[in-house]
Structure 1
Amino acid sequence: MAFIDCHFFSETLGVSASMHVILPQPTTTQIGLESRVVKAKHPTLFLLHGLSDDHTIWMRRTSIERYAAAYGIAVVMPAVNRSFYTDMAAGYKYWTFISEELPALARSFFPLSHEREDTFVAGLSMGGYGAFKLALSCPEQFAAAASLSGAVDVVELSKQRDPVEFGRVFGDLDQVQGSRMDLFQLAKDVAQEEGIKQPKLYQCCGTEDFLYADNLRFRDHCRDLKLDLTYEEEPGSHEWGYWDHKIQAVLEWLPIR
């Protein structure tokens, strides 16, 4: 695999932005790494960080490069600060950045596939929210999405966390439920929309995680809507040992062609 520490200017944000990228490389002599290339334009996983992290965290806390090598998949890991992947009420337009500008720029810089069937998104905690938000808002762009210990219920979470910070992100918190920032509403919209390809969804959460109850509610909501959801749970908390383990399950689950 090739590893790129990429810094670029974002027209959307009006500031310099960063992402880590790993790209498949065919090798036969590299010790300890099984690597292959699926096609010239690589299938791509956009891998999102959590609230207290940045674009470096997946490389620092997991063996994502080694895991991805066996699948011939590129991995793009952008930085979005504490934005919840949202056009912030008092801040930057990170939703426009992550849903429009970043994929276009990444594909212009690197040999990444433009096809929906080759495009996936995953993330942990805040990034799990971002992954499902992307796939459910843009089902024409993403074939599959995975949430690891995701902050899937931002309405409930905003009641437990700093309302001032959440207000800077989402605006009037009384208006979040039922909006395009509410995953429960987005799931309902996708389930009811005719003539679209619904993304495959993968959701996991440790049973000792503080977000476990929220994840159960979202799981049941998706099942009631009959969305294509794979759900897994096991003992675990909100920590990197769990996520290093589960990102391997995500890669195995992805419908890589």
Structure 2
Amino acid sequence: MQGSFRTIELSDAPYEFDGLRFLTVKTPNLKGRGDICLYVPKTDQPLTDLPIYILLHGVYGSAWIWALKGGAHKTAEELMQRKQIEPAIIAMPSDGLWGDGSAYFAHHQKDFARWIVEDVPLAIKENIPEASAKSKLCIGGLSMGGYGALWLGSNYPDKFSAIAAHSAITCLEEMKLFVEEPLTDYTQEAETPNVIDVIKANQTKMPPLRFDCGVEDELIAGNRLLHQQLQDLNFKHTYEEFPGSHQWEYWQTHVRKTYQFFNASLTQN
């Protein structure tokens, strides 16, 4: 079956490892190909309709980085084996690979938002037997991926059952800390509001929201401000601070909180 994409490449089982699968599809939204790294849990009995937890990476990274620098699949496997979370597919797509980081919204005639929100779930549901049209979606990420998760989750609240972020960029201006491309490159097609603006616009539709940040992180001020703004709105959310800075050791430790939050949100719903 051809499906919704002109071309599809899926890794072959004999060469896969640690439950990881790799998927590449061609999409008009990227005007080319996009990559997705997947962790698909294996059990004695076939699994179907599994939820899909999308993890967005930060600047400089790609589809492999959550797994091969963050060990995100290992953490998920551990939690599932310990029965601390129900089985789920972990989807780790690239951001579209524009510049140092696409920031996950539309610019330069490429729609990085629709790539994540539409193409990634559809590619998984059409090509991974453990997923289906019934699979629920949650979205999370780190740094620029945290911005993407907060921004996309708030912009498309009906598509996601929960939103989470670690060490998130909370306004586009903070991208200047990491990328060489000028901010005008990002805003050439439309001015992109800060995370708080999108949440305000969709406040009554929002799914459960959680975010955290390390107290030594250069983005801590923005995260504290977002927390205060949400409190001022009387918007229910979870915000936590922990020791640590803007580094993989922090995200390796705290991604389990994202998984547990997603699992709890789906269970409660």
Supply the distance in 2 between the matched residues of 1:91 and 1:51 (Cα, whole angstroms).
Answer: 20
Supply the distance in 1 between the matched residues of 2:141 and 2:34 (Cα, whole angstroms).
Answer: 19
Post-superposition Cα deviations, 1:73-127, rounded to whole Å, max 9, x if no partner, equal 1011111121100101x352211211222222221112325458x3100100000
Which deviates further from its counterpart, 17-26 or 3-12?
A: 3-12
1:186 matched to 2:198? The reply is yes
2:169, 2:175 within 8 Å by CA — same for their partners in 1? no
1:26 matched to 2:43? The reply is yes
2:76, 2:259 within 8 Å by CA — same for their partners in 1? yes
1:23 and 1:166, CA in 2 relative to 1: closer, same or farther beyond 3 A? same
Q: Post-superposition shift, 1:171?
A: 2.2
Post-superposition Cα deviations, 1:199-241, rounded to whole Å, max 9, x if no partner, equal 1111100011010001011111112222231111012100000
Runs of 4+ in 1 over 3 A off after TM superposition: 113-116, 158-164
1:41 matched to 2:73? The reply is no
Structure 2: which 5+ runs fail to align?
1-17
CA RMSD for the aligned pairs? 2.2
Q: Post-superposition shift, 1:158?
A: 5.3
Which residues in structure 2 correspond to 1:3-14 (within 5 Å)? Answer: 3-14=20-31
Which deviates further from its counterpart, 71-80 or 102-111?
A: 102-111
Matched with 1:30 is none
Partner of 2:240, secondary structure, is strand
Supply the distance in 2 between the matched residues of 1:165 and 1:146 (Cα, whole angstroms).
Answer: 27
Which residues in structure 2 correspond to 1:228-243 (within 5 Å)? Answer: 228-243=236-251
**How much identity, in percent, do the aligned residues show?**
24
Partner of 1:171, secondary structure, is coil
1:100 and 1:213, CA in 2 relative to 1: closer, same or farther beyond 3 A? same
2:163, 2:209 within 8 Å by CA — same for their partners in 1? yes
1:68, 1:74 within 8 Å by CA — same for their partners in 2? no
Structure 1: which 5+ runs fail to align?
28-35
1:74 to 89, 112, 135: 89
AA at the equivalent of 2:240: E
1:201 to 191, 199, 209: 209
Supply the distance in 2 between the matched residues of 1:151 and 1:55 (Cα, whole angstroms).
Answer: 19
2:53, 2:139 within 8 Å by CA — same for their partners in 1? yes
The aligned length equals: 236
Matched with 2:260 is 252
TM-score normalised by L of structure 1: 0.84
AA at the equivalent of 2:257: A
1:105 matched to 2:123? The reply is yes
1:166 and 1:91, CA in 2 relative to 1: closer, same or farther beyond 3 A? farther
Supply the distance in 1 between the matched residues of 2:221 and 2:26 (Cα, whole angstroms).
Answer: 39
Supply the distance in 2 between the matched residues of 1:221 and 1:133 (Cα, whole angstroms).
Answer: 15
AA at the equivalent of 2:31: G
2:217, 2:244 within 8 Å by CA — same for their partners in 1? yes
Supply the distance in 1 between the matched residues of 2:197 and 2:166 (Cα, whole angstroms).
Answer: 20
1:147 to 142, 165, 182: 165
Supply the distance in 2 between the matched residues of 1:62 and 1:17 (Cα, whole angstroms).
Answer: 20
Supply the distance in 2 between the matched residues of 1:256 and 1:61 (Cα, whole angstroms).
Answer: 27
1:113, 1:119 within 8 Å by CA — same for their partners in 2? no
Partner of 1:26, secondary structure, is coil
Supply the distance in 2 between the matched residues of 1:17 and 1:164 (Cα, whole angstroms).
Answer: 21
AA at the equivalent of 2:161: A
